[in-house]
Each structure stands twice: as C-alpha cells, then as structure tokens.
Amino acid sequence: MYKKFRRRVTGTQIVMWIIGFLLLGGVIYGTVHTLAAGAYPPRIWLDLIVFGLAQGSVYALVALGYTMVYGILRMINFAHGEVFMAGAFIGYFIATALNRAELLERYFIPSQLLIFIGAMATSATIAVLLERIAYRPLRRAPRLVPLITAIGASFFLQYTFRGFFGSGIKSYPEPQQLKGTITLLGITILKTQALVIVAAVIMLIALLIFVQRTKTGRAMQAVSEDKDAAALMGINVDRIIVITFVVGGALAGAAGVLFSTLFRQVFFLTGFIPGLKAFTAAVLGGIGNVAGAMLGGLFLGIAESLFPNLVLDGLGIPAPYQLKDALAFLMLVLVLIFRPTGILGERLATKKA
C-alpha cells in the first residue's frame, strides 16, 4: 500500500500540496478574522458582490472570445483585448455624436441599441480581419507562431487607435436615465450596474442557445472536437472559424460598450488590463469551455471585489485593494499549478489537449 503510494507521489507534488494547504489556511484564517471582527455590516458584502458581478459580466463576455477561439484553433488570440477596446471607442463615438445631437436622452432605448449594434459590428469586423490577415496564413504553423503574431497584432491595434484618436482619456457621456439607483428584490444597485448585468446575462443565454441548439453552433462544436473529421462531414471549416471570430468579436464589442457605461473613460489602452483579466477568467473556467468562461469571468469579478476586503483585511494587510491585480494573477498561477484544466475543463484534458 505504502509502496504504491510512494510510486505515485513525487517530491514536487508534496511541495505543491504544502503550498496549497498554506494558501488555503491563509484564506480561511483571513476570512474568519475579518468576519469575526464584524467591522462590516452585511450590506457592504452585498454591495461588493454586486460590484463584482458587474465587473465580472464584462470579463465573462470578453473571456468568451478567448475561449471560443482557443476551442477551435488551439491558439490564444491576444489581440482580443484590443477588439474590446475598439468596441468601447466606437460606442464612445456614437454616444458622443448622439449626445451632441441631443438624441441620447430623448430616444434612450433606440440610442442604446444603435450604440450596441455599431460597436458589435465594428468589433466583429476587426476580429474577422485579424483572422484573415494575421492568423489564417499561419494556421498550420507551430503553436507559438500565431501566439506571437497575436501579441504583435495587439500592439498594432493599440497604437493605430492612439495614432488616429490621440492618447488622451475620452469621457463617455452619461445619459440621465442611467444616473442613480434602482431597488430590485430589496437590493439597491446602480442603474449602470443593472444595465450591465442584464445585458450580459441576455447575451450569455443567447450564446449558449446558439452554440447548443443551432446547426451552426453544433458545427462549431464539431470543428472544435476534430477539424479534419468535421471537414469530412461536409462542414466548411473556414466558414465556422470566421463565424467564431464574428461572435467573439461582437461579444467583445458589446463588452466594450458595457465597460464604458460603467466606468465612463475610454482610451487606447482600455483593452489591455481587462483583456488580460478576461484571459485569466477563461483559464480559470477551463479554456475552450464556453460555460467555463462565463463562470470564470463572474468568479474573477467577484473575487477581485470581495477577496481584498474579506481575506487580506483579516490578514492585517494595509490598503488591500492595491493588491487586487496581484490577487487575480495569483489565482491564474494557482489554477495553472493545481488544476491546469480550469474549473470546468475536464473534457479538455482527456480529449483535446
């Protein structure tokens, strides 16, 4: 028995376990301490979760683009953050133009639809152009090549936007209808947050239905399962790949609009940090897995909002919110070490990788 055990367990694994237990212990200790101190009423925790949900919805929408492209092409589209930024920019331009014409508040719902459609269309176009110009010629190249290309494309897009629209911060207009708060089920939340969460949930459900119930969606699943077999079954693989980029780009464009609605600032590096976070979310959920990306996004958003106050406060760390990003990327490292397949990624480990 013991021998069998010895054979299966290596020294590295034991060290990993120790690290894991120490971290887990720290998290539990910090949480218990914070809660025992009782410095924060329940309403504050609820507020933190709502903040996290709003931020997490944006992460989830962007993470879907990463995960779908990975599922089909086995590459990380690092320029996806810039597709998101393009959506935020186009949303800003349309919103500002409508605001100047005084239509933004008078025709609130049509204006919002116009902003979303414009941003989603532009982002989808940019995503498709990326695929056509930067990735398709490299489809048979070793994995690292399209990855480096994606990073190059990301810089290209960032600095193109900077060249065209300058490096200053643009402030997104805020229509009267989105100011203030509303109360839902006894919870008071900001109207912007409500809009973001509702819009994101609608899009996530629509995407799940699209992927699981439509013919094209099933073709996407087939291509991600096995490209060659799918081609033999009469699926046009190139077309499916383009559709994947269109859907991912459109979701990123919508996320860009939601992000600027929440935070009212747009500039050429807007997509950088949210892009990295969304990538983290996709890995957390299990990259290649659509439901995993949604879950990972929401989890990361809530973790970022909640954990500094919940865990780090109890550990006696001053000014915990400056460690928010460190926390997010620490989770990425831990997931890669302890569960490289992510929360929902079992199938990936056995079949695809």
Partner 1 sequence: MKKSLFTVLAVLLIAAMFMAACGGAATPAPAPAATAAPAAEAPAATAAPAAEAPVAGSDPAVCTACDDPKGCVTLAANDPLHIAWLFVVEGADASLGTDTKRGVELAQAARPTVAGHTVEVTGENEGCNAEGGQAAGTKIASDPSVVAAIGTNCSSAARAAIPLLYAAGIPMVSPSNTAPDLTAADRPAEYAFYMRTAHNDTVQGAAMAQYAYEAGFRKAATIHDGSIYADKLQQVFADKFKELGGEVVAQEATDPNETNMGPMLTRIAAAKPDFIYLPIFIAAGGQIASQAKQNPDLANVQMAGADGVFSPDFLDAAGDASLGFLWSSPDFSAFGSGYQDFLAKHQEKYGEAPLAPFHAHAYDAYNLIADGVEKSAVQCANGSTVIPRTALRDAMLGTAGLQGLTGNLTCTATGDCADPKIAVYQGMSSDRATWNPGAADDSNPKKIWP
Q: Which residues bind partner 1 (CB under 8 A)?
A: 39-41, 44, 47-48, 51-52, 55, 76, 78, 143-144, 147, 151, 167-169, 171, 174, 181, 188, 190, 259, 262-265, 267, 269, 272-273, 276, 279-280, 283, 304-306, 308-309, 313, 318-322, 324-325, 329, 332-333, 336, 340, 349, 353
Shortest reach from residue 274's CB to partner 1, in Å = 8
Of 190 and 290, the one with the shorter C-beta distance to partner 1 is 190
Residue 312 Ramachandran class (φ > 0 left, ψ -120 to 50 alpha, else beta): alpha
Please give the Cα distance from 217 to 33 (Å, whole number).
47
Of 192 and 244, the one with the shorter C-beta distance to partner 1 is 192
**Cβ contact 276:31 at 8 Å:** no
Shortest reach from residue 134's CB to partner 1, in Å = 17
Of 181 and 236, the one with the shorter C-beta distance to partner 1 is 181
Of 74 and 132, the one with the shorter C-beta distance to partner 1 is 74
Shortest reach from residue 42's CB to partner 1, in Å = 12
Please give the Cα distance from 107 to 221 (Å, whole number).
40
Please give the Cα distance from 349 to 192 (Å, whole number).
39
* String of DSSP letters for 202-240: HHHHHHHHHHHHSHHHHHHHHHHH-HHHHHHTT--HHHH
Of 62 and 207, the one with the shorter C-beta distance to partner 1 is 62
Of 217 and 274, the one with the shorter C-beta distance to partner 1 is 274
Of 11 and 41, the one with the shorter C-beta distance to partner 1 is 41
Of 2 and 102, the one with the shorter C-beta distance to partner 1 is 102
Please give the Cα distance from 128 to 141 (Å, whole number).
19
Shortest reach from residue 159's CB to partner 1, in Å = 12
**Residues 118, 137, 286, 270, Cα dihedral to 10°:** -40
Shortest reach from residue 127's CB to partner 1, in Å = 20
Q: Collapse the DSSP code of 103 into the 3-class scheme (helix H, G, I; strand E, B; otherwise coil) and give the result.
A: coil
Please give the Cα distance from 343 to 257 (Å, whole number).
28
Shortest reach from residue 50's CB to partner 1, in Å = 8
Please give the Cα distance from 298 to 294 (Å, whole number).
6
Please give the Cα distance from 163 to 166 (Å, whole number).
6
- Dig out the tokens for 256 from the structure: 């860009």
Please give the Cα distance from 73 to 210 (Å, whole number).
19
Shortest reach from residue 210's CB to partner 1, in Å = 27
Shortest reach from residue 174's CB to partner 1, in Å = 7
